[in-house]
Chains A and B, each alone.
Chain A
């Protein structure tokens, strides 16, 4: 008997979706193997558990950075009959989890055909701004050259701009906060954990350096088993820090406006412009690189249902960068009015769709890293460092 029956079950009988059931099966395989333990935070977290309920799997899935290393390092990846494909299955679980945590619940379907949703909202919001500008300004102002302090606000009063965007941002923050709450409850964490400074410090270091997007030190794998071909970490840094610089640029401008009473546009050498230019460049090169990496990705790793969402998000970021830079370059020409409307429309669309698109990955990833920091501490085990991967004699360890 038995020798022919090779079905592998997971640890838990009931799962909300097929992807979660498959993730349970894979984690059962990995837990009896553990070869990938040094690659990232997912495997050590997995090893702390013996069974995998949906909450556990959602946590593990959001901890995964999709670096791809565990696929090419795995002796059981397809065509092996065990068909272990951790990056793909965790991506599937992760993407499903975004919809599950969406607030309000009624908007969860926005994730289903996310590319279309995002494109529609973005287009509408650009249209609204263009149309709004046309209605509220006479063609002479909108399509003529505007220069000097307050040029932008001749088209849209500063207070109106600030009001509209603050409202959008506020809504977004509330929606994402509710999403975070749903995630945190689902994985079974307490509020206290999220408040511990040490865990947050560790999670911030891990997130800001993209520590786990490097295959445990060997580098990530995207196209094949050779880590040298993957530059996703660089492009992600350009995108993220580009975005942050743009954000810093807007924030400084707001401070200038209210504290110093200085109105945009600012001279080329001034802080908001410098920050915005650098950020804009990052927001163009970064997303282009990421798009390229997506196109190059080994099809076997690709989680098809998430493709639209990922592309929409990257294109949206690219649009922010391109329209922002265009506005800077052409701000002293008659095109300024139109460009301003497009840029503001893009930013507004981006704000509105933040809780309903790939943006949330950063939020849940960060929260997962906080929990990971806590769990590692409870193990009294320092996280693996790249240095430990090399067999150098260490005077410290000689005892």
Chain B
């Protein structure tokens, strides 16, 4: 197994339970193991009935419809349906590996029916998986970055680590994440703009394994510019800022770019559904920066986040704090305020507070920004993970460029997410992809190695 996150550990446990002897090669040290998995909190699994932690049923069909909607149909239906079907068993399987579930967390009620949360979060989940893997006799090596692979005609022969050590195995499961932390690679598609991207998770998912596999004849899947990207606090560190730098307040104000101009309808849809478009929107603005502007009446309406908002007594003063042109920001706010129509504010539904005659409009939750103090959050694109990956079949077995299945190479997790996610995102599906395909990949790799 190359990698040490959810996908790799599910694969390792499942392969070991099939009787294989398993070696996990994780690039990071023990603390940073499971680069992105350690930042997660939940997983989306289909279920026919409510459970003690899930408030109602979430059928396979509904899951699939959600997936179709968020990906705009860009998904491999056979694989997606297979994954969704298998996700049902995950609720029990994951718990059997020592992971504990809990009901949805405060502030995430909208996910209470569809998503199962890990007690203590992703690192707790991962700790449980590692403990189980170790107990079963899986060998785990840290600081074991794989830098080269020998693959001949669709057959994995050996992997070489950074220190030059070479290991051979009967089968390979690649679960080494996407290439989101490789800024140079991101620049191929995004240009210099990628320098201003913040990476929400690990700095270790550089796509080394993905690139090696693609170079050695594995079929590619997905659009390289597609990824999960949200607008996060611009003050977040370059890597590993995690969940706490996210901002849920776009719907409560307006969002302007560095020219103090609005550029998109902030009230398009209920927030969780729109959460994942703002990363790309900000990425398209000059210098990849934007500012959420709101007033005192909204301050306590959303989840707190890590950094305090920047505050000022007047809009021009706020502009100065942010380094924006005071007159331009005043004009944008005045124009917006003038366009706001009377209505009854309710952030739980698509309410009737909207603007009239403004471009772009704000179609819901539009309220005048007029109560001092005024606040702003600077935001930048925060990349969660990339979708470009290796194509796989229902056995999680990679397909070679010519369409033949690889002899003994499997993939799970981010590295093959693009099979299911052509674009868009549904909260919790990253972990579903890792766990379901990890479990399958491990089992199939073990059988493969045995034969």
Q: Do A and B bind each other?
A: yes
Assess whether A216 is interfacial by the CB under 8 Å rule. Answer: yes
Q: A80 — which chain B residues lie within 8 A by C-beta?
A: 240
Contacting pair A394 B101 (CB below 8 A): no
Closest chain A CB from B227 CB (angstroms):
19
User: Of B52, B95, B289, which is within 8 A of A394 by CB?
Assistant: B52
Question: Contact flags (1/0) for B299-340 with A, using CB distance below 8 Å?
Answer: 010011111100000000000001100000000000000000
Query: Cα distance A237–B78 when bound, in Å?
Result: 55
Q: A390 — which chain B residues lie within 8 A by C-beta?
A: 52, 95, 100-101
Contacting pair B236 A391 (CB below 8 A): no
Contacting pair A215 B51 (CB below 8 A): no
Q: Which residues of B contact A (CB under 8 A)?
A: 31, 38-39, 41, 49-55, 91-92, 95, 100-103, 105-107, 116-124, 127-128, 131, 196, 198, 234-237, 240, 242-246, 289, 300, 303-308, 322-323, 378, 380
Assess whether A60 is interfacial by the CB under 8 Å rule. Answer: no
Which residues in window 26-47 of A have CB below 8 A to B?
Answer: 28-29, 31-39, 44, 47
Which residues in window 207-265 of A have CB below 8 A to B?
Answer: 215-218, 225-226
**13 chain-A/chain-B pairs, Cβ below 8 angstroms:** A31-B304, A35-B122, A37-B105, A75-B123, A79-B31, A80-B240, A226-B131, A389-B100, A390-B100, A391-B51, A391-B52, A391-B101, A393-B51
Q: Which residue on chain A has the smallest CB distance to residue B104? A: A37
Contacting pair A9 B244 (CB below 8 A): no
Which residues in window 46-88 of A have CB below 8 A to B?
Answer: 47, 50, 69-70, 72-76, 79-82
Q: B124 — which chain A residues lie within 8 A by C-beta?
A: 35, 69, 72-73, 218
Considering the complex of A and B, which 6 residue pairs feature the smallest CB-CB distances, nearest first? A35-B121, A73-B120, A38-B102, A73-B124, A32-B244, A389-B100
Assess whether A106 is interfacial by the CB under 8 Å rule. Answer: no
Q: B122 — which chain A residues lie within 8 A by C-beta?
A: 35, 75
User: Of B54, B121, B236, which is within 8 A of A73 by CB?
Assistant: B121
Closest chain A CB from B221 CB (angstroms):
29
Interface size on A, residues (CB 8 A): 51
Closest chain A CB from B134 CB (angstroms):
9
Q: A38 — which chain B residues lie within 8 A by C-beta?
A: 102-103, 117, 119-120
Assess whether A8 is interfacial by the CB under 8 Å rule. Answer: yes
Q: A28 — which chain B residues lie within 8 A by C-beta?
A: 304, 306
User: Of B116, B120, B131, B303, which is within 8 A of A32 by CB?
Assistant: B303
Contacting pair B102 A389 (CB below 8 A): yes
Assess A1 versus B55: contact at CB under 8 Å? Given A38-B102, A390-B100.
Answer: no
User: Of B105, B236, B322, B380, which is within 8 A of A34 by CB?
Assistant: B105
Contacting pair A3 B235 (CB below 8 A): yes
Q: A378 — which chain B residues lie within 8 A by C-beta?
A: none
Closest chain A CB from B406 CB (angstroms):
34
Contacting pair B50 A398 (CB below 8 A): yes
Q: B39 — which chain A residues lie within 8 A by C-beta?
A: 75
Contacting pair A389 B31 (CB below 8 A): no
Assess whether A299 is interfacial by the CB under 8 Å rule. Answer: no
Contacting pair A399 B306 (CB below 8 A): no
Q: A226 — which chain B residues lie within 8 A by C-beta?
A: 127, 131
Closest chain B CB from A214 CB (angstroms):
11
Query: Cα distance A218–B31 when bound, in Å?
Result: 20
Q: B300 — which chain A residues lie within 8 A by C-beta?
A: 50
Contacting pair A387 B308 (CB below 8 A): no
Closest chain B CB from A46 CB (angstroms):
10
Assess whether A397 is interfacial by the CB under 8 Å rule. Answer: yes
Query: Cα distance A387–B304 when bound, in Å?
Result: 30
Q: A76 — which chain B residues lie within 8 A by C-beta?
A: 242, 244
Q: A34 — which chain B residues lie within 8 A by C-beta?
A: 105-107
Closest chain B CB from A245 CB (angstroms):
34
Contacting pair B101 A389 (CB below 8 A): yes
Query: Cα distance A33–B122 when bound, in Å?
Result: 12
Contacting pair A1 B323 (CB below 8 A): yes
Q: A70 — which chain B residues lie within 8 A by C-beta?
A: 120
Query: Cα distance A388–B234 when bound, in Å?
Result: 37
Q: A33 — which chain B residues lie within 8 A by C-beta?
A: 121, 242-244
Contacting pair A35 B105 (CB below 8 A): yes
Contacting pair A35 B53 (CB below 8 A): no
Q: B127 — which chain A residues lie within 8 A by C-beta?
A: 72-73, 225-226
User: Of B91, B102, B244, B303, which is within 8 A of A29 by CB?
Assistant: B244
Q: B322 — which chain A residues lie within 8 A by C-beta?
A: 1
Contacting pair A397 B52 (CB below 8 A): yes
Assess A217 versus B52: contact at CB under 8 Å? Given A3-B235, A33-B243, A390-B100.
Answer: no
Q: Which residue on chain A has the smallest CB distance to residue B42? A: A35
Contacting pair B106 A36 (CB below 8 A): no
Q: Which residue on chain B has the smallest CB distance to residue A397? A: B50
User: Of A225, A384, A388, A393, which is within 8 A of B49 by CB?
Assistant: A393
Query: Cα distance A364–B231 when bound, in Å?
Result: 43
Contacting pair B121 A47 (CB below 8 A): no
Q: B234 — which chain A residues lie within 8 A by C-beta?
A: 2-3
Query: Cα distance A75–B139 when bound, in Å?
Result: 23
Assess A384 versus B102: contact at CB under 8 Å? Given A3-B234, A75-B122, A75-B123.
Answer: yes
Contacting pair B244 A69 (CB below 8 A): no
Contacting pair A35 B101 (CB below 8 A): no
Query: Cα distance A35–B116 when bound, in Å?
Result: 13
Assess A3 versus B380: contact at CB under 8 Å? Given A75-B121, A388-B103.
Answer: yes
Q: B51 — which chain A residues lie within 8 A by C-beta?
A: 391-394, 397
Contacting pair A37 B106 (CB below 8 A): yes
Q: A6 — which chain B residues lie within 8 A by C-beta?
A: 235-237
Query: Cα distance A80–B305 when bound, in Å?
Result: 18
Query: Cα distance A225–B55 when bound, in Å?
Result: 30
